[in-house]
Amino acid sequence: MSPVIQGIITIIIGVGGCVGYFYFANLFIDKVLFPARGENAGRNINRANMIRPWVFLFPAMFALGLYLMYPVVGSFFRSLYDRSGDEFVGLGNYARLFNNPDFRQAFLNNILWALVVPAGATFLGLVIAQLTDRLRWGNIAKSLVFMPMAISFVGASLIWRFVYAQDGDIGIINAIRFYFGAEEGIDPLQIPFWNNFLLMIILIWIQTGFAMVILSAALRGIPEETVEAAIIDGANPFQVFFKIKVPQIMGTIVVVWTTITILVLKVFDIVYTMTGGNFGTEILPSFMMDFMFRDDGQATAVAFVIMLVVLPVMIWNIAQARKEMR
């Protein structure tokens, strides 16, 4: 069958199914379940109006539950079994994880990422948003800062490999070292501990544009009257920024911070492309990758730990976003 005909049939079945579901569900509620006739007509109408939204929402809630909850529950049960999935080991995989020094190293590195990257990206985004709003060519500057958002993590990593190259004719770090008299180049990505910060710079470079755009919109939403009143009262530019503007957009700053934090806790591409998790740069997703295809029990246990770490931040992020909407 031609793909075009398949597509048309799929659309007809999908759209027709939705229309049919809503039509017959409505008919069932009004004519069978709660008919608007007899002595209880008024009460039946109220009950039908109460239950109708949930009946209409049911397909979406069912699909969401199927595609979101089933993998979570299935992964948790898989993490309770051994490598082959035949023997139940309870929390044995989790015990092995927490006794593994590589897992502890990856966990600590993830915490370091979650502290440094959101702070760096949000701070730079806020400062750039404030400064570029006052410039005539501010929109051009914002476009340049936002441009890395269009680059994939792997692409950005390849760009920064040139920056960190050992060859002084290519890498900036070694070019500076040679300028000040160094005789041999070094590979910055092989310097333990500090190489983590070199990898974080890549994600800060990418996410600063996102933070800048959101915070710039928030800054423009501040009433001019409050700023003018502060200036009339004698506040200098720093006091206006830190004591007038920042408190008024604190909710947006928190949302940006937590959104970047959620992204950071799931980052994988940069570490895997730049170091493969070697030289002390292992993080939880790259650590999970070490077990994939050879020990599904351990791999799913790491995945579940990542989910538990991300979940509170995500809930807080949603709560803050709702507060902002109100």
15-48 pLDDT per residue, tens: 888 888 888 888 888 888 888 777 777 888 888 8
Write down the pLDDT at residue 294.
80
Mean pLDDT, to the nearest integer, of 80-94? 85
Mean pLDDT, to the nearest integer, of 96-121? 89
Mean pLDDT, to the nearest integer, of 290-319? 83
Mean pLDDT, to the nearest integer, of 74-94? 86
By three-state DSSP, how is residue 274 classified? helix
172-186 pLDDT per residue, tens: 888 888 888 888 888
Task: Judge contact between 303 and 75, C-beta under 8 A.
Answer: yes
Write down the pLDDT at residue 324.
67
Write down the pLDDT at residue 40.
78
Is pLDDT at 95 greater than 80 in this prediction? yes
User: Cα 119 to the chain's mean position, in Å?
Assistant: 15
Tell me the pLDDT of the chain averaged across its residues. Answer: 86
CA atoms within 13 A on the CB side of 188: 22
Write down the pLDDT at residue 38.
76
Instruction: Write out the H or E segment, with its range, that includes residue 135.
Output: none
Write down the pLDDT at residue 225.
86
**DSSP H helices in 151-249:** 153-163, 172-179, 194-220, 224-232, 237-239, 246-248
Write down the pLDDT at residue 197.
92
Label residue 38 exposed, middle or buried (CB < 10 Å: 0-12, 13-18, 19+).
exposed
Write down the pLDDT at residue 70.
85
Is pLDDT at 205 greater than 90 in this prediction? yes
**Band (199; pLDDT cuts 50, 70, 90):** very high
Give the whole-angstrom CA distance, residue 81 versus residue 90. 7
118-137 pLDDT per residue, tens: 999 999 999 998 888 777 78
Give the whole-angstrom CA distance, residue 211 versus residue 255. 10
Is pLDDT at 212 greater than 70 in this prediction? yes
128-166 pLDDT per residue, tens: 988 887 777 878 888 888 888 888 888 998 899 888 888
Write down the pLDDT at residue 200.
92
Mean pLDDT, to the nearest integer, of 184-204? 88
Is pLDDT at 227 greater than 90 in this prediction? no
Please tell me which residue, 105 or 314, carries the higher pLDDT value. Answer: 105
Q: Is the dihedral of CA 216, 220, 226, 230 positive or negative?
A: positive
pTM for the model: 0.76
Mean pLDDT, to the nearest integer, of 289-316? 84
Write down the pLDDT at residue 190.
87
50 vs 34, 38, 45, 55, 63, CA distance in Å?
11, 19, 9, 10, 22
Task: Judge contact between 212 and 186, C-beta under 8 A.
Answer: no
By three-state DSSP, how is residue 170 classified? coil
58 Cβ neighbours under 8 A, 6+ residues apart: none
